[in-house]
Structure 1
Amino acid sequence: MFSKILIANRGEIACRIIATARRLGVATVAVHSEADRRARHVALADEAVLIGPAPAAESYLCADKVIAAAKRSGAEAIHPGYGFLSENAAFAEAIEAAGLVFIGPPAEAIRAMGSKATSKALMDQAGVPLVPGYHGADQDPVGLARAAQEIGFPVLVKASAGGGGKGMRVVHDPADLGAAIEGAGREAKAAFGDDRLLIEKYLGRPRHVEVQVFADAHGNAVHLFERDCSLQRRHQKVIEEAPAPDLPDEVRQRMGAAAVAAARAIGYRGAGTVEFLCQDGGFFFIEMNTRLQVEHPVTEMITGLDLVEWQLRVAAGEPLPLAQEAITATGHAFEARLYAEDPGRDFLPAAGWISHLAFPPADPHTRIDSGVVEGDRVSVHYDPMLAKLIVWDRDRASALRRLKSALAATRLAGLETNLAFLNAVAGHPAFARGGIDTGFLDRERETLIPESGPADDTTLALATLYLLKERAVLARTRAAASTDPTSPWHDSGGWRLNDDNHTDFVFTDAHGRHPVVAHDRPRGHELELPSGRVQASAELEPDGTLLAEIDGLRRTVTVLRDGAELLVINAGRQHRLGLFDPAKADDDETAGGRLAAPMPGKVVKVLVGAGTEVSAGTPLIVLEAMKMEHTLIAPADGVVAALHYAVGEQVDEGVDLLAFEARPE
């Protein structure tokens, strides 16, 4: 076993590797960018080395800086985690050339599987089933279009290198193929440094099932069962589970055998994942990820094994700890990925400060893998995943109940997240039944991401009760600190001369103002809400937990202060409210005539010029942020009056990218 390793990554995976290494008595070295000086993985590691500025291209993606840090610190091996340089064959070769150990597969295996075209040819030779498609070297758009026509629409245009949904487009109409090829190639080049593409038949309603494999340098290869990763948005996984529900045992066994055959075909070593699409009783090879996967914890939960420990032991030259017949699976596990993103805006990544963060406590059934803590800033430079909530129980139904409970107990404020979306998915009846396909989230978008409406009476009542209790606590604190604790000036009960004692509030959200009047009563409050009056009372805990009773119905919720706003978290749903201040003038300016950047990012393409007449929905500008491209479209028919930014320029969220004049109706 190694005495010291360097972790060439950040976030929750770096923290995860550090935890295993510490348990094994292995010292750890963290590398970090200037933006990550105070990151959680840096604080947890035994040593830390600064390797460059915030952009990943100048820090985490600089192989020479990472290797220099390893040699300087005396590390014997480098663990790449996932993402960044984890599937970079040249990086693996450079590590070996430097006299260090790469905790991953041989460079030849990475290179073989890194090219989807090459990997599919190898899998075809190994007898692994393939999706019909074009994996050739001719990358001329005309040739790719010809291949697509031969395969038949709809087709999937995807990057030959990399994964994670980047450089991937589904094309239903031949007229859209050119733009899809151009966009996928550009995104693939930015993410992987390789713009080669392949074309495959797009399966209508497949499931995405992957098999965890492991191999050592002694000729042993095993699988550790499968995971279902069908819940995806924008081709990226949201919730994973193991084992795959409603998968016939015969298919499960054949799939496991095919995955092991795939690993043996390329002389694999270490942890890898062989991914398949399953439909109508058949399964088809998609790709092999030559690294540890984000969703590996669900496999750990059902097998009771530590896959990072297996990686370290295999890399150190040890044989696999267990033979295939000794590997067993028990129970069921789920993993939900918590992202900084806005589901209501097509899952646009979000950046900002985490003002409040609380997870459910860890226990044998619940595990939290996170790379952030309260007070951290989520940067535009890196992937927006904040944490993974992993649960286990004896069967799928029990595990799903634990997942819903863990999501409902998670509290996060300060920036947009997909927490409410995850709650909605976990609670969907179709998901409870199991066996859903990769198109589920797109089909159920309206039910899972409903149009935001105005705050309902319950939300307004909870916000009002919180403010009343907050004021009462503040009044008691000030009274205790004053020279006259009994002074009536410390009373917060809304007493008025010759009038009913009451307090007026006006809450605001995107749908307008919502007045509430709170009357003090002997046993609590009477609240005048938009739809009528209710009797209410509450107690406020120091952590923001509100124990409320409204018309006899008790509930425990969380209300958090986020600057001048309140975040009401009730049954896993969040509603953000402002407080109207009549002392401030109304801002009646509208966003008409502007097109603002929805997030910080870089302008990678400007599709129109000043003076261009466009129709509603016309693509105007393409932004790149958090390793994904986002196309901004014309909000109406009109004319682009002026462009404010050029290709290559960085922009902040909210800046005006161009001036737009809508055509009069």
Structure 2
Amino acid sequence: MFDKILIANRGEIACRIIRTARRLGIRTVAVYSDADAQALHVSLADEALRIGPAPARESYLRPELILEAARRSGAGAIHPGYGFLSENAEFAEACAEAGLIFIGPPAGAIRAMGSKSAAKQIMEAAAVPLVPGYHGEQQDPELLARAAAGIGYPVLIKASAGGGGKGMRVVGEAAAFDDALVAAKREALSGFGDDRVLLEKYLTRPRHVEIQVFADSLGNVVHLFERDCSIQRRHQKVLEEAPAPGMPEELRRSMGAAAVAVARAIGYVGAGTVEFLLDQDGSFYFMEMNTRLQVEHPVTEMITGQDLVEWQFRVAAGEPLPLGQEQLTISGHAIEARIYAEDPQRDFLPSIGILGHLRTPQENAHVRIDTGVRAGDEVSIHYDPMIAKLIVWDTDRTGALRRLATALAEYQVVGVTTNVAFLATLAGHPAFAAGDLDTGFIERHRTALFPRISPATDQVLALACLDVLLRRTREAQQAAAASPDPWSPWHLTSGWRMNVDNHHVLVFRDNGTDISIIAHYRPSGYLLELPGGEQMASGSLDHNGDILADLNGARCRATVVRHNDDLVIVIQGRSHRLTLHDPLAHVGEQEDQGGRLTAPMPGKIVAVLVEPGARVAKGTPLVILEAMKMEHTIAAPRDGLVSEIHFSVGAVVNEGAELLAFAADGEQTP
């Protein structure tokens, strides 16, 4: 076994490899670009070396930089993870030439499967079932058009040298073939530097079922059963599960045997995945082989109890496979959901930004989270926007679906748009629960899976009000505790008015629409005038800042994440963004220069909470201004001294009026 390995990757897969290496006592070396200098995988590894600027083509995709890092660190082997250089035959050969063990298949096997056309010719010779199609090297447009006619429409045009949906077109009739061919070739050339294509019969409702295979250098080959990866968007997987729902045992054995035959046909060693299309009639066809560890490998680990990264280490070190085929069994059911920073409502466009708030479900025997990020990390433009893989397990599929729903409801991400709510809707769809799966599932159920964006519900608005009011109360209590006169009426936040019902008016902006809510103070909480009617609301903030709310007798827990005037209300895995229309909420921050706190709009002074000469802490409420039927608290921008107050209660002030003079500690009194 190795003493030290270098991981030629980043993010969650690098962290995943480190976890197994640490358990086995193997030291790890991480590599990182400038964008990843503070990344999680860098902090978890025993050593870390910089390899270049942020763009992958200048860092993670530079074999010579990876090899130099391995030389400098003294690592004896390189694990490529997936993506980047994991299926680069030249890199595998360069590792061998440098005296390093490549923890992956032989370069020849990578090359054999690197061209879809060549791979299908090999499979044809090995009697592995293939979708009817054209896999030849001739690329004359007229020849391809004749081949398409011979196959029968609809046909699928696919880039021969790549995957991920690039260079792929479905053609329903002969009249559309020429234009689709030009477009597919253009995209293939741009994405892979190779415009060759192949043609296949397009199956209208196939399932995408893949088999995990493993082979050692001693000639042993096994399969670790199947995964169903039919739920896809833009030809990329969204949910994966193992075993495949409704899989007959005889079909499982047949597909497993075919996958083992694929591995033997190319002299495979290590972890690989053979992907098949499974037709409605039970026929299956070889699609491609991924000569690496797959993103969705955790579901296989969960149902077999095996650590596939450990298997990779042992096989690469020359050891035999840990188990034989007859020793491998299936236990329970596992589902993986890929949590991405992307916007499902905008065709899954990636979302970039800072993960300002990140809270995940508790990991246990039923819930696993593979991630490469922490709260405060950035999802950048440079790499895949995956935040995490959420994997759940239970004794059967029904239990696993229940675990998935619960875990997604507990997954909180604020700062970027995510697909968490979409995943919950998808996993909760009756057809998915029934196992009615195929690669067109998302498109076929688009209406149900992509509902129109709804305005904030009364529940969301009530929770937003409670958050604002409870935080104001807590701030006032903290100010009172720090004050020489903690019983001063100026520390009250009850909205008290002489001869007037004590209340606050809160205005939230929801997708461009302003919603005014009147909060009347009551001994037991607040009576809220909401768009849908009145509700009694009460609650408290726990030590995490979560709201424990009682809304008309219905109790719930929610998280409200605030950034300036934006409030993101997260409840049951779904989030809604509102903006508190409070222009004075951050006056102190804006007027930190020169010790002046001014009114940015006309209003009336309804409370002065401090006296001249008072020393206050940052955040202490100083003045309350009523404007536009709302009350606004002006707080101390920093620790300091209130030297002078320019207006008394009841005074009407103009926009820009200096309300008081304030000197921060370390500054002279103005």
TM range (shorter): 0.7 to 0.9
How far apart, in 1, do the equivalents of 2:415 and 2:322 lie? Answer: 44
Does the 8 A contact of 2:354 with 2:378 survive in 1? yes
Shift of 1:564: 2.5
For the residue of structure 2 that corresponds to 1:363, the secondary structure is coil
Inter-CA distance 86–304: structure 2 relative to 1 (3 Å threshold): same
The equivalent of 2:357 in structure 1 is 356
The equivalent of 1:568 in structure 2 is 569
The equivalent of 2:263 in structure 1 is 263
Partner deviation per Cα, 1:312-360 (whole Å, 9 max, x = no partner)? 1101111101110011110000110000100000000111111011111
Shift of 1:156: 2.2
Q: Which amino acid aligns with 2:241?
A: E
Q: Which amino acid aligns with 1:480?
A: A
Partner deviation per Cα, 1:249-297 (whole Å, 9 max, x = no partner)? 1111100000001100100000000011111111111100000000000
Does the 8 A contact of 1:215 with 1:221 survive in 2? yes
The equivalent of 1:537 in structure 2 is 538
* Segment of structure 1 superposing worse, 41-50 or 575-584: 575-584
How far apart, in 2, do the equivalents of 1:541 and 1:170 lie? Answer: 54
Partner deviation per Cα, 1:54-79 (whole Å, 9 max, x = no partner)? 11111111111111111111111111
For the residue of structure 1 that corresponds to 2:330, the secondary structure is coil
Inter-CA distance 483–198: structure 2 relative to 1 (3 Å threshold): farther
User: What stretches of structure 1 of length at least 5 have no aligned partner?
Assistant: 585-665
Inter-CA distance 22–481: structure 2 relative to 1 (3 Å threshold): same
How far apart, in 2, do the equivalents of 1:58 and 1:181 lie? Answer: 32
* Segment of structure 1 superposing worse, 265-274 or 360-369: 360-369
The equivalent of 1:587 in structure 2 is none
The equivalent of 2:233 in structure 1 is 233
The equivalent of 1:44 in structure 2 is 44
For the residue of structure 2 that corresponds to 1:421, the secondary structure is helix
The equivalent of 2:286 in structure 1 is 285
Q: Which amino acid aligns with 2:328?
A: I
Q: Which amino acid aligns with 1:247?
A: M
The equivalent of 2:341 in structure 1 is 340
Q: Which amino acid aligns with 1:451?
A: R
Q: How does 1:405-554 map to 2 (within 5 A)?
A: 405-510=406-511, 512-554=513-555
Inter-CA distance 375–531: structure 2 relative to 1 (3 Å threshold): same
Shift of 1:510: 1.8
Does the 8 A contact of 1:366 with 1:391 survive in 2? yes
Q: Which amino acid aligns with 1:304?
A: G
Q: Which amino acid aligns with 1:521?
A: R
Does the 8 A contact of 2:133 with 2:199 survive in 1? yes
> How many corresponding residue pairs?
584
Shift of 1:430: 1.3
User: What stretches of structure 2 of length at least 5 have no aligned partner?
Assistant: 586-670
RMSD of equivalent CA atoms: 1.6
Does the 8 A contact of 1:413 with 1:562 survive in 2? no
Shift of 1:176: 5.0
* Segment of structure 1 superposing worse, 284-293 or 565-574: 565-574
For the residue of structure 1 that corresponds to 2:104, the secondary structure is coil
Inter-CA distance 476–147: structure 2 relative to 1 (3 Å threshold): farther
Inter-CA distance 194–556: structure 2 relative to 1 (3 Å threshold): same
The equivalent of 1:614 in structure 2 is none
The equivalent of 2:172 in structure 1 is 172
Partner deviation per Cα, 1:8-38 (whole Å, 9 max, x = no partner)? 1111000000010111111111111110000
For the residue of structure 2 that corresponds to 1:372, the secondary structure is coil
Shift of 1:479: 1.9
Does the 8 A contact of 2:242 with 2:299 survive in 1? yes
How far apart, in 1, do the equivalents of 2:510 and 2:116 lie? Answer: 47
Q: Which amino acid aligns with 1:440?
A: F
Q: Which amino acid aligns with 1:112?
A: A
Q: How does 1:321-400 map to 2 (within 5 A)?
A: 321-400=322-401
Does the 8 A contact of 1:414 with 1:562 survive in 2? no
The equivalent of 2:242 in structure 1 is 242
Inter-CA distance 540–175: structure 2 relative to 1 (3 Å threshold): farther
Inter-CA distance 13–176: structure 2 relative to 1 (3 Å threshold): farther
TM-score (norm 2): 0.85
Shift of 1:174: 4.9
Partner deviation per Cα, 1:200-244 (whole Å, 9 max, x = no partner)? 222111111100000000000000000011111111111111000
Inter-CA distance 96–481: structure 2 relative to 1 (3 Å threshold): same
How far apart, in 2, do the equivalents of 1:186 and 1:39 lie? Answer: 36
Q: Which amino acid aligns with 2:159?
A: A
The equivalent of 2:610 in structure 1 is none
How far apart, in 1, do the equivalents of 2:187 and 2:48 lie? Answer: 32
Inter-CA distance 443–113: structure 2 relative to 1 (3 Å threshold): same
How far apart, in 2, do the equivalents of 1:306 and 1:360 lie? Answer: 22
Does the 8 A contact of 1:331 with 1:394 survive in 2? yes
Inter-CA distance 69–190: structure 2 relative to 1 (3 Å threshold): farther
For the residue of structure 2 that corresponds to 1:9, the secondary structure is coil
How far apart, in 1, do the equivalents of 2:184 and 2:578 lie? Answer: 39
How far apart, in 2, do the equivalents of 1:431 and 1:224 lie? Answer: 24
Q: How does 1:8-87 map to 2 (within 5 A)?
A: 8-87=8-87
How far apart, in 1, do the equivalents of 2:191 and 2:31 lie? Answer: 21
| Corresponding position: 1:254 with 2:254 | yes
Does the 8 A contact of 2:565 with 2:581 survive in 1? no
| Corresponding position: 1:88 with 2:88 | yes
The equivalent of 2:627 in structure 1 is none
Q: Which amino acid aligns with 1:380?
A: I
Q: Which amino acid aligns with 1:381?
A: H
The equivalent of 1:622 in structure 2 is none
Partner deviation per Cα, 1:390-414 (whole Å, 9 max, x = no partner)? 1111111111111111111111100
How far apart, in 1, do the equivalents of 2:489 and 2:80 lie? Answer: 64
For the residue of structure 1 that corresponds to 2:127, the secondary structure is coil
The equivalent of 1:609 in structure 2 is none
Shift of 1:151: 2.6
The equivalent of 1:149 in structure 2 is 149
Q: Which amino acid aligns with 1:343?
A: P
Shift of 1:179: 5.1
Shift of 1:566: 1.1
Inter-CA distance 93–503: structure 2 relative to 1 (3 Å threshold): same
Q: Tell me which structure has the larger Cα radius of gyration.
A: 2
Partner deviation per Cα, 1:111-149 (whole Å, 9 max, x = no partner)? 111111011111111111111122121234444444333
For the residue of structure 1 that corresponds to 2:54, the secondary structure is coil
Does the 8 A contact of 2:565 with 2:582 survive in 1? no
The equivalent of 2:595 in structure 1 is none
Does the 8 A contact of 1:457 with 1:531 survive in 2? yes
| Corresponding position: 1:223 with 2:223 | yes
How far apart, in 2, do the equivalents of 1:91 and 1:189 lie? Answer: 22
The equivalent of 1:162 in structure 2 is 162
* Segment of structure 1 superposing worse, 159-168 or 78-87: 159-168
How far apart, in 2, do the equivalents of 1:490 and 1:181 lie? Answer: 73
Q: How does 1:543-622 map to 2 (within 5 A)?
A: 543-581=544-582
Shift of 1:189: 4.0
Does the 8 A contact of 1:338 with 1:387 survive in 2? yes
* Segment of structure 1 superposing worse, 182-191 or 396-405: 182-191
Partner deviation per Cα, 1:605-653 (whole Å, 9 max, x = no partner)? xxxxxxxxxxxxxxxxxxxxxxxxxxxxxxxxxxxxxxxxxxxxxxxxx
For the residue of structure 2 that corresponds to 1:578, the secondary structure is strand
Shift of 1:187: 4.1
| Corresponding position: 1:298 with 2:293 | no
Shift of 1:486: 1.8
Does the 8 A contact of 1:8 with 1:80 survive in 2? yes
* Segment of structure 1 superposing worse, 33-42 or 179-188: 179-188
How far apart, in 2, do the equivalents of 1:333 and 1:387 lie? Answer: 16
Does the 8 A contact of 1:528 with 1:534 survive in 2? yes
Partner deviation per Cα, 1:153-205 (whole Å, 9 max, x = no partner)? 33222222233333333333555545544444444445444332222222111
Q: Which amino acid aligns with 2:220?
A: N
Q: Which amino acid aligns with 2:236?
A: Q
TM-score (norm 1): 0.85
| Corresponding position: 1:5 with 2:32 | no
For the residue of structure 1 that corresponds to 2:499, the secondary structure is coil
Inter-CA distance 16–470: structure 2 relative to 1 (3 Å threshold): same
How far apart, in 2, do the equivalents of 1:410 and 1:66 lie? Answer: 35
Does the 8 A contact of 1:340 with 1:349 survive in 2? yes
Does the 8 A contact of 2:29 with 2:45 survive in 1? yes
For the residue of structure 2 that corresponds to 1:527, the secondary structure is strand
